[in-house]
Chains A and B, each alone.
Chain A
């Protein structure tokens, strides 16, 4: 019970692995999730995120390692004994039961009955704004309504942890945005720890207080959305979360505040902030987000560093911003995005325009990675 005192380790995952035959789905991971946090596990399909979630729920037993929730070791507890409930990607609403019975199921299994049962069920149904739908059967509900039923059903036992498997994947865009904020409000209101599994970086970024990026059964980086986006520690994370332009190169000079990297694709030397233990000659990868690159028709004032010439290969108008694909002299394509701040029917640059692209030293992410 000493662990309970540590609020940073409400869910404590230590050395957890899961093997299916020869296949290693989850590979010796450690993770701490805080009480009341909205935590997202982000990764592509087959990265092990769903297996990890199923181990938290108790549907799979880890091959090795331990899982503690609120100081109790639950590693070998069956799902029905854990203080954890799950909202399934398919929602898994019992098709032969009404909304009321679906939501009440968990309480009934706990032996709650009578007016307490009906009161709590009504409260949960009201919480997800499904009042009046109590007697409906699942096939008479829309996708969004089914999702709410699934949510109410998972929340009714007031679990310590709510697991959400791709909670928004099946909804259309408008509904997603709305539901996203509702989920955040509900989480805020109830203070339950949410663990969301998703492949959608946008969903993870807006929902979560912290994100763990997962690939091949391991966590590559755990941090706040901003950290993950602005300070990715690996090429995979940089690439998976948002779009990014990367340039290979090697460190040529080290200053107090900056390092200089020579990249074959960029004619001028690239200046970046010095934040690592670096050596001259070390291989480095410079990564820059599209929105942090400027395009200009004129030569930038400081063309000694961080600038390169190119040709507009393609452009796309997205309303609030425009996307440009610029072909550099070496033939490399890079992506640049630009806010359309001025209202104008005229394009700022045209196809095949010769342009300069430039960026600030502080915009460069430097990734040192064994390749």
Chain B
């Protein structure tokens, strides 16, 4: 009996350990490595940065990368633009996704599973292909422009491609399922009697929505927003394909610094700052959620 108990406990420890080990190996360790590189100086060598400890064993730390980020206005603008674009895409996803999730959660079970399947269906096709498909839709002689001209709405094709608008559409399209699914999960769980009760007590339909549905959907909204905002922030493929050469987003900059300029310390600094930009709002949200849960 003692043996079973022992293995039981062993399993429990193992189960708890797995996510920690995972985080340690695949998040903390890479982060430390990137942090180390960001504190080095670039050299033309293999690897292309100075070691943390030089030949004499002295610690060599350089903040040049971070200083450069502060002096060159380009980086600040790029960060700002990335945040704005990711935030806009998140908002658009929320505006489109909420009614979608609401509609799915309130439809009858048969339709519901079909609709959910349709939401997930695009994942069957490669992400890259789907972005390419948008090029076909958005370019000057693409489907949308041709349709508009055929209807006589415009004489000249509208320049969609290589604009912020194209990137916004691409991101919204790509990340919409990540918004819909968590929203659906929270809305589907909600007891519909609550909305009836609110109306019974004098709330109009809209009133009941803002008093009951929205606050109860908040965990789903937060989860959905994070799931869209975080990958949209570091997005590389969409700006590369739909945004064209001029549209600098932080994902692009990161790639260029690493592989075009081969300035690994600077690139690492860019990555660290990006991480900070992402971590701060997440922590704020989590604190907010924890406080909410404490109230509950």
What are 28 inter-chain pairs, A to B, with CB distance below 8 A?
A: A57-B200, A58-B199, A59-B196, A59-B199, A59-B200, A79-B196, A80-B200, A80-B203, A80-B207, A85-B201, A86-B196, A86-B200, A88-B193, A89-B193, A92-B191, A92-B193, A92-B197, A94-B198, A94-B212, A95-B296, A96-B296, A105-B198, A105-B203, A105-B211, A106-B202, A109-B201, A110-B202, A154-B200
For B200, list chain A residues within 8 Å (CB). 57-59, 79-80, 84-86, 154
Assess the B201–A157 pair: CB atoms within 8 A.
yes
Known contacts A95-B296, A137-B296, A139-B296; decide if A80 and B199 are in contact (CB<8 Å): yes
Which of A260-303 touch B at CB < 8 Å? none
A90 is an interface residue with CB less than 8 A from chain B: yes
The minimal Cβ–Cβ distance linking A9 to chain B, given in whole angstroms, is: 23
Question: Given contacts A84-B200, A106-B201, could you give 4 more A-B pairs where the C-beta distance is less than 8 Å?
Answer: A59-B200, A85-B201, A90-B191, A92-B194
For A153, list chain B residues within 8 Å (CB). 197, 201
B155 is an interface residue with CB less than 8 A from chain A: no
B156 is an interface residue with CB less than 8 A from chain A: no
For A86, list chain B residues within 8 Å (CB). 196-197, 200
For B196, list chain A residues within 8 Å (CB). 57, 59, 79, 86, 88, 92
B204 is an interface residue with CB less than 8 A from chain A: yes
For A89, list chain B residues within 8 Å (CB). 193
A78 is an interface residue with CB less than 8 A from chain B: yes
For A78, list chain B residues within 8 Å (CB). 199, 204
Q: Mark B257-296, 1 if CB is under 8 A from A, else 0.
A: 0000000000000000000000000000000000000011
B99 is an interface residue with CB less than 8 A from chain A: no
The minimal Cβ–Cβ distance linking A340 to chain B, given in whole angstroms, is: 44
Assess the A96–B215 pair: CB atoms within 8 A.
yes
B216 is an interface residue with CB less than 8 A from chain A: yes
Q: Mark B175-213, 1 if CB is under 8 A from A, else 0.
A: 000000000000000010110111111111001000110
The minimal Cβ–Cβ distance linking A88 to chain B, given in whole angstroms, is: 5
For A137, list chain B residues within 8 Å (CB). 295-296
Which of A12-38 touch B at CB < 8 Å? none
CB contacts between A and B, total, < 8 Å: 67
With A and B bound together, what is the CA distance between A79 and B205 in angstroms? 10
For B215, list chain A residues within 8 Å (CB). 96
The minimal Cβ–Cβ distance linking B217 to chain A, given in whole angstroms, is: 11
For A92, list chain B residues within 8 Å (CB). 191, 193-194, 196-197
The minimal Cβ–Cβ distance linking B16 to chain A, given in whole angstroms, is: 26
The minimal Cβ–Cβ distance linking A97 to chain B, given in whole angstroms, is: 9
Which 3 pairs between the two chains have the least Cβ-Cβ distance? A109-B202, A106-B201, A92-B193
Query: CB within 8 Å of A: which residues of B?
Result: 191, 193-194, 196-204, 207, 211-212, 215-216, 295-296
- Across the two chains, which residue of chain B brings its CB closest to A90? B193
- Across the two chains, which residue of chain B brings its CB closest to A137? B296
For B194, list chain A residues within 8 Å (CB). 92, 94-95
The minimal Cβ–Cβ distance linking A230 to chain B, given in whole angstroms, is: 37
The minimal Cβ–Cβ distance linking A357 to chain B, given in whole angstroms, is: 49
The minimal Cβ–Cβ distance linking B47 to chain A, given in whole angstroms, is: 53
Which of A73-116 touch B at CB < 8 Å? 78-80, 84-86, 88-90, 92, 94-96, 105-106, 109-110
For B295, list chain A residues within 8 Å (CB). 137
With A and B bound together, what is the CA distance between A109 and B200 in angstroms? 11
For A85, list chain B residues within 8 Å (CB). 200-201
With A and B bound together, what is the CA distance between A305 and B197 in angstroms? 58
The minimal Cβ–Cβ distance linking B59 to chain A, given in whole angstroms, is: 52
With A and B bound together, what is the CA distance between A62 and B215 in angstroms? 32
With A and B bound together, what is the CA distance between A105 and B199 in angstroms? 11
For B216, list chain A residues within 8 Å (CB). 95-96
With A and B bound together, what is the CA distance between A247 and B1 in angstroms? 63
For A84, list chain B residues within 8 Å (CB). 200
- Across the two chains, which residue of chain A brings its CB closest to B216? A96
* Most A Cβ at <10 Å: residue of B191, B198, B202: B202
The minimal Cβ–Cβ distance linking B57 to chain A, given in whole angstroms, is: 59
- Across the two chains, which residue of chain A brings its CB closest to B194? A92
Q: Mark A138-155, 1 if CB is under 8 A from B, else 0.
A: 010000000000000110
With A and B bound together, what is the CA distance between A84 and B199 in angstroms? 11
For A94, list chain B residues within 8 Å (CB). 194, 197-198, 211-212
With A and B bound together, what is the CA distance between A131 and B201 in angstroms? 22
- Across the two chains, which residue of chain A brings its CB closest to B193? A92
- Across the two chains, which residue of chain B brings its CB closest to A105? B201
* Most B Cβ at <10 Å: residue of A78, A84, A94, A157: A94
With A and B bound together, what is the CA distance between A89 and B196 in angstroms? 12
- Across the two chains, which residue of chain B brings its CB closest to A89? B193
For A154, list chain B residues within 8 Å (CB). 200-201
For B199, list chain A residues within 8 Å (CB). 58-59, 78-80
With A and B bound together, what is the CA distance between A110 and B201 in angstroms? 9
With A and B bound together, what is the CA distance between A335 and B124 in angstroms? 65
The minimal Cβ–Cβ distance linking B202 to chain A, given in whole angstroms, is: 3
With A and B bound together, what is the CA distance between A84 and B207 in angstroms? 18
- Across the two chains, which residue of chain A brings its CB closest to B197? A92
For B198, list chain A residues within 8 Å (CB). 94, 105
For B211, list chain A residues within 8 Å (CB). 94, 105
- Across the two chains, which residue of chain A brings its CB closest to B296? A137
With A and B bound together, what is the CA distance between A109 and B197 in angstroms? 12
For A95, list chain B residues within 8 Å (CB). 194, 216, 296
With A and B bound together, what is the CA distance between A80 and B199 in angstroms? 5
With A and B bound together, what is the CA distance between A139 and B207 in angstroms? 24
With A and B bound together, what is the CA distance between A196 and B127 in angstroms? 57
For B197, list chain A residues within 8 Å (CB). 86, 88, 92, 94, 153
For A58, list chain B residues within 8 Å (CB). 199-200
For B193, list chain A residues within 8 Å (CB). 88-90, 92
Assess the A109–B191 pair: CB atoms within 8 A.
no
- Across the two chains, which residue of chain B brings its CB closest to A54? B196
With A and B bound together, what is the CA distance between A59 and B212 in angstroms? 17
For B201, list chain A residues within 8 Å (CB). 80, 85, 105-106, 109, 153-154, 157
* Most A Cβ at <10 Å: residue of B197, B198, B211, B295: B197
